[in-house]
């Protein structure tokens, strides 16, 4: 049980990589606040009644108010925070000529500002309550090596990498590590909204030496390692999970 006695927040936990990560963390002993805009809002009364982990919390992480409420809930329910996985995100195909200004703002707000807000309010709680904090931000291979017509998404995922590296320098002496996972194509609803089957077949057969796309569990396994104390000297790293994707 790598995460016994640890408390984790996993964002984007209703689907795909976030869901697999939250499930794996729970199987490894963590108490978890799962956050997603897709979860049903819960009335404050029933929130007090539910003490079992995981707690599923509805929040739009673009909202400061929602993020603050989520962090308050962790403090009330568990009294500590050790791990945050920032996984919530949206896809956004298109090049700068095609993309509207609103679409660009939407992807930057959802993919980057949410990470800023969660870190802003979670980090003080981690520093206060944990000697071995770990934050894991989910970027993308497209933040390292963009493909055509992914301009806004690639920019947002590149920003997550830089934000991760900057954060990793701030509180290392207090035991807080911040790392980034950059997945390649992973079999989730987001991937199938982003790329059609013809593109995916081409990617699988010509660009990925493993000859297949990845599973959410294969990303979750790395998140578990980064969340656990077994990765205690890994900080500021950007690790790909992509079957050897050719650049």
Ligand X SMILES: NC(=O)c1ccc[n+]([C@@H]2O[C@H](COP(=O)([O-])OP(=O)(O)OC[C@H]3O[C@@H](n4cnc5c(N)ncnc54)[C@H](O)[C@@H]3O)[C@@H](O)[C@H]2O)c1
Which residue among 65, 78, 121, 153 is the active-site one? 153
When binding is defined by CB under 6 A, the residue of 186, 222, 226, 245 that contacts ligand X is 186
Taking the least distance from each CB to ligand X, the nearer of 83 and 186 is 186
Residue 65 bears catalytic tag: no
- Residue 13: how many CB atoms within 10 A of its CB? 29
When binding is defined by CB under 6 A, the residue of 9, 119, 185, 203 that contacts ligand X is 185
Binding mask 111-130 for ligand X (x = CB under 6 A): ---x----------------
Q: Report the C-alpha dihedral over residues 234, 240, 243, 246, rounded to 10 degrees.
A: -130
15-23, 122-130, 161-169, 221-229 -> range binding ligand X (CB under 6 A): 15-23
Q: Is 158 in the site for ligand X (CB under 6 A)?
A: no
When binding is defined by CB under 6 A, the residue of 31, 140, 235, 240 that contacts ligand X is 140
Q: Is 133 in the site for ligand X (CB under 6 A)?
A: no
When binding is defined by CB under 6 A, the residue of 88, 118, 125, 163 that contacts ligand X is 88
Rounded Cα–Cα distance for residues 203 and 214 (Å): 12
CA nearest 15: which of 200, 192, 236, 195?
192
CA nearest 148: which of 192, 110, 98?
98
CA nearest 143: which of 238, 237, 5?
238
CA nearest 153: which of 197, 106, 117, 215?
106
Give burial (CB, 10 Å; 0-12/13-18/19+) of 96: exposed
When binding is defined by CB under 6 A, the residue of 1, 27, 38, 205 that contacts ligand X is 38
Give burial (CB, 10 Å; 0-12/13-18/19+) of 67: buried
14-22, 46-54, 99-107, 122-130 -> range binding ligand X (CB under 6 A): 14-22
For binding to ligand X (CB under 6 A), which residues are involved? 11-12, 14-18, 36-38, 59-62, 87-90, 110, 114, 138, 140, 183, 185-186, 188-191
Residues marked as catalytic: 153
């Amino acid at each position: 049980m790598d995460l016994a006695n640890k408390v984790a927040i996993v964002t984007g936990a209703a689907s795909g990589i976030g869901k697999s990560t939250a499930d794996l963390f729970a199987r490894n002993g963590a108490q978890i606040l799962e956050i997603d805009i897709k979860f049903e809002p819960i009335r404050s009364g029933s929130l007090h009644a539910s003490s079992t982990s995981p707690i599923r919390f509805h929040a739009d992480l673009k909202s400061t108010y929602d993020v603050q409420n989520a962090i308050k809930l962790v403090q009330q329910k568990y009294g500590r925070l050790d791990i945050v996985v920032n996984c919530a995100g949206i896809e956004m195909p298109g090049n700068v000529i095609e993309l509207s200004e609103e679409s660009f703002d939407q992807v930057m707000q959802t993919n980057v500002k949410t990470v800023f807000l969660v870190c802003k309010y979670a980090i003080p709680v981690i520093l206060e309550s944990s000697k071995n904090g770990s934050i894991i931000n989910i970027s993308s291979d497209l933040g390292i090596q963009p493909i055509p017509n992914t301009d806004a998404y690639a920019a947002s995922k590149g920003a997550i990498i830089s934000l991760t590296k900057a954060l990793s320098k701030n509180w290392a002496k207090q035991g807080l590590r911040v790392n980034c996972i950059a997945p390649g194509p992973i079999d989730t609803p987001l991937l199938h909204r982003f790329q059609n089957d013809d593109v995916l077949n081409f990617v699988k057969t010509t660009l990925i030496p493993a000859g297949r796309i990845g599973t959410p569990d294969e990303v979750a396994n790395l998140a578990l390692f980064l969340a656990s104390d077994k990765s205690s000297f890994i900080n500021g790293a950007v690790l790909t999970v992509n079957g050897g994707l050719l650049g």
